[in-house]
Every structure is written in C-alpha cells, then in structure tokens.
Amino acid sequence: MPNLRFTEQPLSEWMSRGGIQSDIVISTRVRIARNLMHQPFPMLATNQQSEEVLKKLEDVLTDEQIQACGKLYPVLLADLDELDKKVLVEKHLISPNLASESRNGAVFISEDESLSIMVNEEDHLRIQCLYPGFQVQEAWERASSVDDIFEAHVDYAFDDRRGYLTSCPTNVGTGLRASVMMHLPALVLTQQINRILSAVSQVGLTVRGIYGEGSEAMGNLFQISNQITLGQSEAEIIENLYGVALQIIQHEKNAREKLITESRLRMTDRVMRSFGILSHAAIIDSKEAAQRLSDVRLGVDLGLIENLSPNVLNELNVLTQPGFLQKKYGENMSPGERDMYRAKLIRERMGEY
C-alpha cells in the first residue's frame, strides 16, 4: 500500500510552529541538487539505470546517520494516483517535475514534513528543508548536514572548476537554491512592490510565485530566491539572501505602518469586506480566494481582526488548492464545481470565528 499519510492533512506540522518574522515571512526553503558520478542524468537514464540510482540512494537513506536526523517515510511516485501527486506538489513536498515526468521517482519525507528528499527528479537527488518564518541559516545547516552524509556514501558528479554538475546549467556550481516566501500586501497597496522587486533582481536574486519558476505570485505571496549558483560560495548565497530579505521585511513593515496610520478606516473596510466575502460567498475562484485571504491575514497582523489564528489561513491556503479540494470531497471536479466547494469549505472554516 502507498504511504498516503502526507496527503491527508493540509497543514504540515512544521507550519504550525511559527517562526521569526512570521507575520511577513511565511516560510524558508533550502534545496540542494546533486547527481551521482558515472550515472546518466535522469532525463537520459533508462528504466534500469534509474532503478539502480533509487536503490543506491535508498541504501543511504536507511543509514543510522540519516535516520538520526529524523525518521523518513518512503513514498514511491508509481504507487500514487494523479490526485495524490498533485496534493504533494501543493504542499511543496515534491516538485511538479517529479510528479509528472520522473522515472522511478520517489520522495522520503520526515515526520513533520520539514525535510523531503526527492530521488530521480530533474537531478538524481534533491534535498529540501522547509522551515517556518525567517530561518535561512537554520534551514541551510540542516540541508547541508544531510548532504554531507550522502557525500560520505556516494560519489557525486563534480568538476574541480565548475563545481557540482546538474541537469540544468542554472544549478551548476553549488546546486543550492535558498528562498523565502514573503507576504507583501502593504508594498503592493502602496505601489512600491515593482521598485522593490526590480532592485532585488540587481543583486543576484529572483522573484517567483508560490510554486516556483513560471508560477503566479497570487495572494501577495512572493518567493525570493538566489539566481546565481556558480561563482559564489554557499555562505555568500545564504548571506546575500538573508541581507536582502531583511531589507524587504523592513520596507513591508514601514508600508504597513503607513497604511494603518494614514488609512486605518479604509484598511479596516478592505479587511472586513474580504472577511465578509469569505464568510458568505457561494462561489469563489482560487485567485480571488488567495487575494481575500491575503487581506484577512494583513488584518490579523495589523490587529484589525482578533482571535483568528494565522494557522487557519495557512491551512486554507493549502485546502483551497485544486488537488486538496478534490481529495477532501472525494471526487474529480470541473473548475466551476471547485469554485463552489472552495467557497463552501472557506465558509465553514471562517464561520468558526
């Protein structure tokens, strides 16, 4: 039987813990890409070769050193239906690439879902750590320690001049992608966001949507990550992301202070209108739901709404995604049906408050 425990609950345990600057930084992610020496990259591998890679990495994953980092549960992608794969993507536990294109793909997930190790994705091995709030250094240290254990057991594809070799040239070098998911509604409302994000691109960072490259930044959620993996050390990448994110946090705080000082009544009206729509709408699409939830989250952070936990909003951000909606109600749905059930689910959760 496939291990489906990770597709049943929308809120990962790590998400409920809170974290530093969690009113602005929703989460921190560090991902390390690696490939094995003398093995073709996954896109060129035969079925037998990808099986060999999976077996070799599974052996490392049963090692006591890895298990000391926390028990890992194996999930073979071949055992999952398309809906369960979609749910794992929506929870950021696997990538869209692993869900749709991998051969002999697998993921090993920790109890609290803060560590997931993908096998036979775009690269043979992708180590990912997800932490709540602003914890760039902590996430990097954990991912690096897991990487060190693998490197002690297998030979990585490595070039003395280019560094770690990866399927995509944009990952060559350190193979490191570090990112912070930021909620920046005040910068959007004060029309500063384009200037800020333009400045970010000048310092080796890039901005993506909530599901990475090519995805839309819905609900005022922006993923800020390093763009350069070659020519900088891991420490420099982490330090650069940390410093720039810290500046964005301060800009967002200043913008929030301006909104509440100069436009308190207008902000209260905006927040309460969104709360009312979420509490009573009969249909709502994913884009509007994300925007209304963003307004309500800002209202909570500004003290305009009381007794509503941010965890409820975190949960709704996942529950209202297409895969989870269909998983919860046990049926495939058309987009129109999803809009109806999304509104129903939000009404039920908001009605508790």
The C-alpha angle 13, 294, 18, rounded to 5 degrees, equals: 30
Q: Per the annotation, where are the binding residues?
A: 27-31, 92, 126, 177-181, 208-213
Alpha helix stretches (DSSP H) within 107-205: 136-153, 185-189, 193-201
Question: What pLDDT was estimated at residue 208?
Answer: 80
Q: Per the annotation, where are the binding residues for ATP?
A: 27-31, 92, 126, 177-181, 208-213
Q: Which of 109, 50, 29, 101 lies closest to 75 in space, CA to CA?
A: 109
- The tokens describing 200, both together, are 């970010």
Question: What pLDDT was estimated at residue 350?
Answer: 87
* Cα separation of the two ends of the chain: 38
> How far, in Å, CA of 250 to CA of 300, rounded?
18
pLDDT in tens, the chain (353 residues): 355 677 777 778 887 777 889 999 999 999 999 999 999 999 999 999 999 999 999 999 887 777 777 789 999 999 999 999 999 999 999 999 999 877 899 999 999 999 999 999 999 999 999 999 999 999 999 999 999 999 999 999 999 999 999 999 999 999 999 999 999 999 999 999 999 988 998 888 999 866 555 556 688 999 999 998 998 999 999 999 999 999 999 999 999 999 999 999 999 999 999 999 999 999 999 999 999 999 999 999 999 999 898 888 988 988 899 999 998 888 789 999 999 999 999 999 887 76
Pairing of strands 115-119, 221-226: unpaired
In the 8-state DSSP scheme, what is residue 308?
-
Those residues whose C-beta lies under 8 Å from the C-beta of residue 18, and which sit 6 or more positions away, are 132, 133, 310
Pairing of strands 158-159, 72-76: unpaired
Domains and CATH numbers, the chain: 5-255 (3.30.590.10), 263-351 (no CATH)
